[in-house]
Chains A and B, each alone.
Chain A
Amino acid sequence: MKRYECLQNVAKSVGESVVVTNIGGVAVEWQHLHDTESTFYLWHSLGLATSIAFGMALSWPERKHVVFEGDGSLLMNLGGLTTVAEKAPSNLVVLVFDNQAHESPGGYRTATAGTADLEVIARGAGFQNTATVRTLPEFESAFGRAMDRDELSLLVAKVETGTHNVPFPTMDARENKYRFVRWVERTRGVTIFEPPGHVTKMRE
């Protein structure tokens, strides 16, 4: 199973859910497949994709949040799974693309190529709704269930290494932040960016 095929399936059903992508090929593929204002692309800070999506899901409980994780990144922040499971936001789906490698920097193996089982680790942390899938039909049905349920879930998709040949994005981190946060402001009807300081001062 290829990650790109899974993402094609996600693009069909994700709607206006918030999407947080991990660093690397997954961000490049998603940008090509389904670049929307509701996507936040992580370009560094390996290990923090789920933490960011978790902070969003707690803060915006009415909205579904999906995070594209990787095996290498999740292994960097296993303690973070316990933090998420303790609060168990019912609007968060953690989707782990497990290619058993740190692919972007050269394909070195991770512990999931050997003894580590991320689904079992997640269950041990307290995730109730988990699955591991190896074929596209299994992925479609497990992801569909996770999206329909009102329950924290974690889905491990065992995928091949390899990134689909698509153009590299041109949007940088700050532009992505402004686009995403302006979308949240409009959609939620809230103010997040402060007015410039001198304007506030002049009003005082």
Chain B
Amino acid sequence: MSVIVDYLHDAGIDFAATLPDSWIQDLILGLERDPRFIHVPLAKEEEGVGICAGAWMTGRRPVLLLQNSGLLNCCNALTTLSGLYDIPLLLLVSYRGSLEENSFFHVPLGAVTGRVLDSLGIPYELVSTAAELPKRIRDAASFTRISQRPVALLLSKSSLEAE
């Protein structure tokens, strides 16, 4: 069972919408099996921004867990839903295509992810090691709620290696 499930619970998160990536598959399985979370497996990432917005407005604290390719699929909703209404959302993003990558086909994602988040006006941090995860998740979950804006954590391969 992934320890990150416990970090999310400790940060107050109780709702997760996910789309698989090999780096985060144990975490997704953990969320699916854990009754402390409502878990929604998605068909495509952008619907997750809507689902999580609805969940937050009726009293849940959601996370959207996805690969950075899926983050690119969410640009419109993050702008015209989260941005138009100021709706909080914790984005946990596997950072494919960074220098730790060993699959050539993810490389283009690494080159644009940070600049896409900058352009969207979404604050983000890179999580380099597993040891940083509990505090980063706690801080990001709190920041998204007080700011009522999406916040992203880019999860490096190293930070997920204990998974």
A contact set with B: CB distance below 8 Å: 18, 20, 40, 42-45, 47-49, 51-60, 63, 77, 79-80, 82-83, 86-87, 173-174, 176-177, 180-181, 184-185, 188, 190, 192, 194, 196-197, 200
Q: Are A55 and B54 in contact (CB under 8 A)?
A: yes
In the complex, number of A-B residue pairs with CB atoms less than 8 Å apart? 119
| Contact partners of A54 in chain B: CB under 8 A | 50-51, 54
> Would A59 and B54 be within 8 Å (CB), given that A83-B42, A184-B59 are in contact?
yes
The answer to whether A174 and B85 touch across the interface, beta carbons within 8 angstroms, is: yes
With A45-B49, A52-B54 given, name 11 new contacts (CB 8 A). A42-B81, A45-B76, A51-B51, A52-B50, A52-B53, A54-B54, A59-B58, A80-B43, A188-B58, A190-B59, A197-B142
Chain B residues near A185 (CB-CB < 8 A): 59
Q: Is B131 an interface residue (CB 8 A)?
A: no
Instruction: Give the interface residue-count category, chain B.
Output: 35 or more
Q: List 13 A-B contacts (CB under 8 A).
A: A43-B84, A47-B46, A48-B50, A52-B54, A55-B17, A55-B40, A58-B40, A77-B47, A83-B51, A173-B85, A174-B85, A177-B85, A177-B86
Contact check, A40 vs B43: say whether CB atoms are below 8 A apart. Answer: no
B49 to nearest A CB, angstroms? 7
- Name the interface residues of B58-80: CB closer than 8 Å to any CB of A: 58-60, 62, 76-77, 80
Q: How long is the Cα–Cα vector from A18 to B57 in the complex, in angstroms?
A: 11
> Given contacts A52-B53, A184-B59, are A58 and B38 in contact (CB under 8 A)?
yes
B58 and A194 contacting across the interface, CB-CB below 8 Å: no
- Interface flags for B72-116 (1: CB within 8 Å of A; 0: not) read 000011001100111100000000000000000000000000000
Q: Nearest-CB distance from A188 to chain B (Å)?
A: 6
Q: Is the CB of A48 within 8 A of B77?
A: yes
